[in-house]
Amino acid sequence: MEFVFPYDSITLTNEVNTIPNQYGLMEALNLFPSEPISTTTVLVTFADNKLRVLPEKARGDKGTPGQTGENKGIPLQIPHFPAIDNIGPADIQNKAMIVDGRPVPMTMAAATAKLLMLIRRKHAITREYLRVNALKGIVKDGDGTTLADFFQLFNIVPQQVDLVLGTAGTNIIDKVEEIYDKVHAGVVGDTVSSVEVVIGSTLFSKFVQHAKVEKYWLNYQAAQGLANMQRHGQGNDHGRTFEFGNVFFREYKGQVPLKAGNEYLVDPVKGHAYPAGTSETFATYDGPPHHMDRVNTPGEEIFISEKILDHGEGVETKSQSNPLPVCKRPKALVEVISSN
């Protein structure tokens, strides 16, 4: 009797994309909303302090309206992240699942649902990794290799604020105001509701322990309830939070597994300030999958195709995501450090 897998690529793709993405602070904040595009390459230009990301078009197609003084565009390939997984007899045979408090034999439907959860999480981690790096003005692949640095490509001077936390007399209020001003100065033609900083654990601790900050930090914690320290708890990350001088600081403890080992999403001794509440400054461009059925169609977060294995050994799935997160106003991104 020939094995028949009851799910096709359309069903698998729809199902995996309905599973809530609960991984990552960028996802929880909805900082880089998805924008599906139907091309695998985009043209990036910079003018009037703003990046424009244009989908490449076939020769003869009506072009995207340009802007006066726009720089020469730089073509950029949408990153491609495929993954292969299998469901075989060993995933079902002699396995049990709990239904209504009782163990029952594992089913193909349950094994498939379990696999879809795993696939969702793998691609969610990749998506978060790319988005956090976009807050630094760069595009990276899954190996940690920098594919594009928008500051270098367009000769933009990166913005930085040195908190000088090793000096007791540093005017921290002025330093935080400098962060606020630089972020706002970099936002042209968009709204901003607030300025936020995702910050590494070491720098966060050093910041709140500074002589000019500590009393405010203690009062802030007392107001929140000292026994229940305020933590954002978003995106499966439980870093501390602190609002100081009209800037909201979010500690980010997250790490991702790369080939070279685990890497902190935010360097423990750095922070990255950005404008929050914008309408068009951040985006994640989702390109189409590498699949004949989806050529020249708008992309999705994840696409899955299936293949029946020989000799009844199960089914192979290929999942893929093709995201390109971009901050269109890189001058609004401010790196926060302390030189001592």
Within a domain: 63: no
- Tokens representing 329 are 């106003």
Give the closest residue to 294 by CA, choosing from 82, 76, 40.
40
Within a domain: 50: yes
> Cα separation of 323 and 329, whole Å?
18
CATH number at residue 200: 3.90.1690.10
Instruction: Classify strands 194-199 and 247-251 as parallel, antiparallel or unpaired.
Output: parallel
Instruction: Classify strands 50-55 and 41-47 as parallel, antiparallel or unpaired.
Output: antiparallel
Can you give the pLDDT at residue 264? 93
Task: Please say whether the beta carbons of 125 and 318 come within 8 A.
Answer: no
Within a domain: 264: yes
Within a domain: 61: no
Write out the residue range of the structural domain in which residue 223 sits: 1-56+69-340
Can you give the pLDDT at residue 59? 42
First to last CA, the chain: 71
Task: Please say whether the beta carbons of 254 and 170 come within 8 A.
Answer: no
> Cα separation of 20 and 230, whole Å?
25
> Cα separation of 274 and 11, whole Å?
38
Within a domain: 312: yes
Within a domain: 64: no
Find tokens 């900050």 and name the residue: 213
Within a domain: 275: yes
The H or E element containing residue 25 is: helix 25-29
Number of domains observed in the structure of the chain:
1
- For each successive 10 residues of the chain (340 residues), what is the average pLDDT? 87 94 89 94 84 65 50 82 96 92 93 96 94 93 84 91 96 97 91 95 96 90 60 66 94 88 94 95 95 95 96 95 93 97
Within a domain: 220: yes
The pair phi, psi for residue 6, each rounded to 5°, is -80, 5
The H or E element containing residue 126 is: helix 108-134
Entry pTM: 0.89
Give the closest residue to 241 by CA, choosing from 279, 283, 194.
194
